Copies of this chain bind each other. A is one copy, B any other.
Amino acid sequence: MRKNTLRKIVADGGTIVNGWLAIPNSYSAEVMAHQGWDAVTIDLQHGPVDFQTAVTMLQAISTTSAVPMARVPWNDAAIMMKLLDAGAYGLICPMINTKEEAEQFVNFCRYPPLGTRSMGPNRAVQYGGADYWQGANEEVILLAMIETRKGVENLDAILSVKGIDGVYVGPSDLSMSLGKPPTLDPSDAEVVSLIELIAKKVRAKGLIAGVHCDGSKTALRRFGQGYQLATILNDARLMATAAAQAVKEVKGGAPVAAAKTY
């Protein structure tokens, strides 16, 4: 089975720069996947992307060496199994707040005996190889999103669930959960300290600490805090920001407020 190169990066002490796809299209996915990311994640939660389109995006990413991942919309069996069958080599699941939710995530996504994932890879066999089912439990990465106060409180229990490879922090939702305005680079002391705490706990367990960022500066800071996987901006926001800047340069004045990603 094709190896998941993200595991080697982490094992070697490296960091993973993750691209993020919100545009529901295989051409933009392919262009993005060629820009040097270690992994590229299709966002089926907050991106306007559905499964059928995501399959073509997974194909587009598979023309490169970037590892194809997906953020699923919910801790739901159907969509998670379908994305894995279609060749996603990593899943990020939102709103994992309890040990039970983490166990359910694992249960849906791991073949027996670790879980109850049903057998039937389709693109996964093309992408991963005929022995996919034998290696999938080892190669596929499962990251639980920690993005609420409750999730932080239950972090130790969540991390104790066998089959979870690490966490992915959502700073905006975490901020909201704590009663603060949403932002991908919080300055609120409590939020900041929790984000730092999460990385420490995760790394102490030997697991992967990932985080959503709003640009390269934040990403570098997060790496300094122990995070190993950082997402910069999504495709739409990279495009919109550059477009608004270009219009401003030609027209003068203030740029149009670009669509913001939280």
User: Interface of A with B (CB < 8 Å)?
Assistant: 15, 17, 19, 22-28, 30-32, 34-37, 45-53, 55-56, 59-60, 62-63, 73-74, 76-79, 81-82, 85-86, 94-95, 111-113, 116, 118-123, 125-127, 130, 133, 147-148, 170, 172-173, 176-177, 179, 182, 215-217, 219-220, 223, 230, 232-233, 235-236, 238-244, 246-251, 255-262
Contact = CB atoms under 8 A, between A and B. Distances in A.
* Residue in A63, A122, A179, A261 with the greatest tally of chain B CB atoms within 10 Å: A122
Contact of A24 (B25, B46, B81, B217): B25
B119 A173 contact: yes
Contacts of A36: 243-244, 247-248, 251, 255-256
A13 to B, nearest CB: 15
Quick one: copies of this chain in the complex?
Answer: 6
B238 A28 contact: no
Given A23-B28, A112-B177, A126-B31, A230 B242 contact: no
B241 A242 contact: yes
